Structure 1
Amino acid sequence: MARVTKSKTKQAPVLLWFRRDLRLTDQDAVAAAAESGAPVIPVFILDDSDRKPQRAIGGAARWWLHHSLESLAGSLDKLGSPLILRRGDAVETILALVQETGAEAIHTGFMPDPGDRATDKAIAEALERQDCRLHRHRTALLHDPHKIKTQTGNPFRVFTPFSKAFEAQVHVRPPAPAPKHLIPSTQTKSDKLADWELLPTIPWDKGMAEEWTPGEAGAGVRLADFVADAVNDYEKGRDIPGDAGTSRLSPHLHWGEISPWQVWEVVGEAKGHGGVATYRRELIWREFAAHLLWHFPQITDQPLRPEFAEFPWREDHAGETAWQRGQTGIPIVDAGMRELWALGWMHNRVRMIVASLLVKHLLIPWKDGENWFWDTLVDADLAANCVNWQWVAGCGADAAPFFRIFNPVLQGKKFDPSGRYVRDWVPELAKLPDAYIHEPWTAPEAVLRAAGVRLGVTYPMPVVDLAAGRARALAALKQATGRGS
């Protein structure tokens, strides 16, 4: 296609390329495009090509993206600049848009994922021969991953020193308002969102639709509710899966429907509440995960600690399938996996418990669990997913030692003592007394019968003996690293 010739009297447009920053408020790429004084062409590209090293989004994330784009498109319509949707290889699509529109600049956010960085590099190199420049803005992170370093000039691999350096070096600026108007450009052809078929054809998304409101407005409501209802008790409440003690902002933050600056600021305004520092520390952990992915992109597939490269993982199709379906026979694990399937989300404490069972008691590779989370989480973030799975598996940066193996029964008794969470998600056990709700296989037959539970029939027996699974995991650790305790 021939390049559009720029008129001497008509200013060339700029492309406003949205990625995982689907908002207008406190969005530096949006602000820069508005301040340019040029006509603005907002665009989102669905790149589900097989180009490496990018990674196609999972099923639950596709559901979220559909609704988030609907919300963003509505907000942009009010500003006078409709959202242009294109599907295809991001590099080819951006270059084609430059040719079609005669754009003189591209404003976008930079992302820490290896695929996004490769895309940016390819676009910047291609644009060197054209009258157009790529401007990347920090829209998703509080810090620049390449700037914070240890005293020796290396990236951080341990969280506590990173968090101290972050607090000392990073100025978390106040959030900025959304522009009131964007100068519209001439009409550019767009795909129809429905044609992308991001929504499931089999309606498994009812629970997600009831739980979530994707988009910038929904993110604002979720933040306000958290500050009003939960931040005061967050330090303790975040570990209780049966309570609404967490912010549930992770999918909104992942898709950039709310800025981390805004979350940091609004939570901080809840002065006198004990959970503020703890919650901000969780935001810094999110930054740490992005920092690790930026400097060690191999962690998407390989353990950061080389001694785990030859770890003796097992292939256990039956065990893995039982784990995925919430049919392991271990109540707290099954509750978490069913919550994940229904809502596209799982409580953070339970994420650690289910991950530990998979990689330690069952000795199934962490990558298998990470892949399942990637497909089923609405907040499936590449940095957080890989870093947190490697943390549980003991093979990543600042990881929990492999020999620290969660006992899911003890975890359930400690953090769900009344069994409320288990009863919500594993209703076949709802009538069991508290004493047996987390280990029904220990209940006397009369108790099981009174509760309507038939082990192996209405609820499965455990897929693994926890003591034997722990011993097997320690033996595997010793084989791989020479350390068993």
Structure 2
Amino acid sequence: MVSLAWLRDDLRAADNPALLAAAHEGGAIALYVLDQESPGIRPLGSAAKWWLHHALQVLREDLGALGIPLVLLRGPAAEVVPAFARAAGAERIFWNRRYGGPERTVDTAVKDWAAGADLHAESFQASLLHEPWTVRTGQGGPYRVFTPFWRAVSALDFRGPLDAPAKAAAPPSGFPSGEDLEDWGLLPRHPDWSAGLAAAWTPGEAAGLAALREFLDGPVQDYDDGRDRPAKPGTSRLSPYLRWGHVSPFQVWHALSTVRGTGAGPEVFGTEIGWREFCWHQLFHNPDLAVKNLRPAFDAFPWEWPEGSGPVTPPVLRGHSGDSPGQASRPDGLDPLDAWKAGLTGIPLVDAGQRQLWNMGWMHNRVRMVAASFLVKNLGVHWRVGEEWFWETLVDADPASNPANWQWVAGSGADAAPFFRIFNPETQAKRFDPDGAYISRWVPDAMTPAYPEPLVDLRESRRHALDAYESIR
């Protein structure tokens, strides 16, 4: 008997119910389909592609040790998965659920095909602590405010993590071998700007579990304060491991229980897991979260759409390997959006965050909020432009958290910060980077004559933003 485990954003062996079911039912084959062609499926950003390449390399080794081959294919999954299942002689197919609208459409198509082909198909809950359709407000609708949402979800009984499958029986020979990962072209080549990513991250399940243990062994105790200090190792840095499913939220939640009750830090970190759940709750009920304001009033907001906006890399970054903090001068004629992307706004905390992002594919969350607020409110650029840049450059960008957090900053989303809450980068730096260690790390040129003048006056641009907000009230 051949059983197929169709993997997506669940690139791990442990606590993977689809993989466990496939291994239990007979000779298991794991299948990963790079689907960037199905309607509505969002193509991966460049940093995500880098991560995926290395994650699949590690996963192939991990599954190989369990006797489970990993087959790689490309194309629209609703066509590729049935074709492979037929060619492999699969009798059963298992996968873990996804919650985006286009992804659910694909999964439904595969399940309908399986029913017609008399092939057993089954899906499991694996990437969220809750199923978004099971939690409703008293009026029967989805939650729009985080606190009552998390109160309802955190009261649920979350299952414990599952073991990895035992060494599986080898599937019958003769199934298609799939494609060569190198042929997918996921890694940057001309130029290769990924040096900083490689220095900062090790994709894979073992690295994710090690990061979880390291966080719970120390930083979690001071997380309530440390999470806001960008110069200190006070955060978990689990976001890319959760995004790619190297660790599951069930593993994180139950591991957190070993330190819960020892102080405020673990409790605050628990709410961050809840915020991730809240973002996915929003996406499930609003599939166009990345392109549509949740608050319709903001459709009339006079945001700018700069020419060439979107994920296009500005010239100043092209060819830059990411192995140095940045450059000290702003080229003449560089437009404000490109200056923001390159970390050349003349606002040290914003520039530090943007340079950290380009260097390591990640930015400290406190600084993410500041950098996003500066783009949307001080420069007046539409949040979708910034969201697309983060999608292109973050290793942890996922379809829910990325747009939900941008909408939160912009004031257009669920439980959003009021629009008039405009992060002042100077006061934020004084409060959360008081000795300037973070800024010095990423913007060593901040105190030199070559450092550019600010793009805008913070006070004046804040006033313009509030005036624009008044126009839609």
TM-score, shorter chain, exceeding 0.5: yes
Q: Name structure 2 gaps, 5 residues minimum.
A: 308-334
Secondary structure of 1:480's counterpart equals coil
Amino acid at match of 1:403: F
| 190-199 or 236-245: bigger deviation | 190-199
Q: Which of these residues, 360, 363, 370, is aligned with residue 353 of structure 1?
A: 370
Structure 2 distance, partners of 1:216, 1:203, is: 25
Alignment-derived partner of residue 319 in structure 2 = none
Compute the displacement of 1:273 (Å).
3.8
Contact 2:115 2:121 in 1 (8 A): no
Structure 2 distance, partners of 1:134, 1:128, is: 7
* Larger gyration radius, structure 1 or structure 2: 1
Instruction: Number of aligned residue pairs: give it.
Output: 442
- Cα RMSD for the two superposed structures: 1.1
| 1:236-262 per-position Cα deviation (integer Å, ceiling 9, x unaligned) | 000000101000000000000011111
Amino acid at match of 2:241: H
Contact 2:305 2:385 in 1 (8 A): no
Alignment-derived partner of residue 330 in structure 2 = none
| 1:73-111 per-position Cα deviation (integer Å, ceiling 9, x unaligned) | 001111112100111111110010122122122111111
| 338-347 or 268-277: bigger deviation | 268-277
| 1:270-319 per-position Cα deviation (integer Å, ceiling 9, x unaligned) | 24143111001100110010011001112121000010112111244511
Alignment-derived partner of residue 415 in structure 2 = 398
Secondary structure of 1:290's counterpart equals helix
Q: Which of these residues, 410, 424, 427, is aligned with residue 441 of structure 2?
A: 424
Map 1:284-303 to 2 at 5 A: 284-303=274-293
Map 1:160-309 to 2 at 5 A: 160-168=147-155, 170-185=156-171, 186-188=173-175, 189-201=177-189, 202-271=191-260, 272-309=262-299
Alignment-derived partner of residue 4 in structure 1 = none
Contact 1:231 1:274 in 2 (8 A): no
Secondary structure of 2:123's counterpart equals strand
Compute the displacement of 1:45 (Å).
0.5
| 367-376 or 99-108: bigger deviation | 99-108
Secondary structure of 2:245's counterpart equals coil
Amino acid at match of 1:462: P
| 1:187-206 per-position Cα deviation (integer Å, ceiling 9, x unaligned) | 42221111111111022111
| 1:2-35 per-position Cα deviation (integer Å, ceiling 9, x unaligned) | xxxxxxxxx3x11101100000111111121122
Amino acid at match of 1:80: G
Alignment-derived partner of residue 444 in structure 1 = none
Alignment-derived partner of residue 318 in structure 2 = none
Map 1:357-436 to 2 at 5 A: 357-429=374-446, 432=447
Question: 1:214/1:187 Cα in 2 relative to 1: closer, same or farther (>3 Å)?
Answer: farther
Structure 2 distance, partners of 1:150, 1:92, is: 38
Structure 1 distance, partners of 2:459, 2:169, is: 66
| 1:212-232 per-position Cα deviation (integer Å, ceiling 9, x unaligned) | 110000001111111112001
Contact 1:174 1:261 in 2 (8 A): yes
Compute the displacement of 1:329 (Å).
0.3
Compute the displacement of 1:128 (Å).
2.9
Q: Name structure 1 gaps, 5 residues minimum.
A: 1-10, 433-452
Amino acid at match of 2:277: E
Structure 1 distance, partners of 2:444, 2:120, is: 57
Amino acid at match of 1:372: W
Alignment-derived partner of residue 104 in structure 2 = 117
Matched, 1:72 2:59: yes
Structure 2 distance, partners of 1:226, 1:292, is: 28
Contact 1:298 1:304 in 2 (8 A): no
Compute the displacement of 1:129 (Å).
1.8
Alignment-derived partner of residue 450 in structure 1 = none
| 1:385-412 per-position Cα deviation (integer Å, ceiling 9, x unaligned) | 0110000000000000101111111111
Alignment-derived partner of residue 39 in structure 1 = 27
Secondary structure of 1:300's counterpart equals coil
Map 1:132-143 to 2 at 5 A: 132-143=119-130
Contact 1:159 1:398 in 2 (8 A): yes
Secondary structure of 2:232's counterpart equals coil
| 323-332 or 129-138: bigger deviation | 129-138
Alignment-derived partner of residue 330 in structure 1 = 347
Compute the displacement of 1:479 (Å).
1.1
Amino acid at match of 1:274: A
Amino acid at match of 1:242: A
Structure 1 distance, partners of 2:359, 2:263, is: 32
Alignment-derived partner of residue 24 in structure 1 = 13
Compute the displacement of 1:125 (Å).
2.5
Matched, 1:145 2:132: yes
Structure 2 distance, partners of 1:306, 1:133, is: 43
Secondary structure of 2:98's counterpart equals coil
Structure 2 distance, partners of 1:335, 1:287, is: 29
Structure 2 distance, partners of 1:476, 1:121, is: 43
Contact 1:335 1:421 in 2 (8 A): yes
Matched, 1:48 2:65: no
Structure 2 distance, partners of 1:334, 1:359, is: 15
Secondary structure of 2:264's counterpart equals coil
Q: Which of these residues, 93, 96, 102, is aligned with residue 83 of structure 2?
A: 96
Structure 1 distance, partners of 2:40, 2:75, is: 15
Contact 1:149 1:156 in 2 (8 A): yes
Contact 1:60 1:344 in 2 (8 A): yes
Map 1:466-477 to 2 at 5 A: 466-477=458-469
Contact 2:127 2:245 in 1 (8 A): yes
Structure 2 distance, partners of 1:366, 1:117, is: 26
Structure 2 distance, partners of 1:267, 1:221, is: 14
Secondary structure of 1:373's counterpart equals helix
Contact 1:14 1:103 in 2 (8 A): yes
Structure 2 distance, partners of 1:96, 1:138, is: 25
Structure 1 runs of 4+ off > 4 angstroms? none
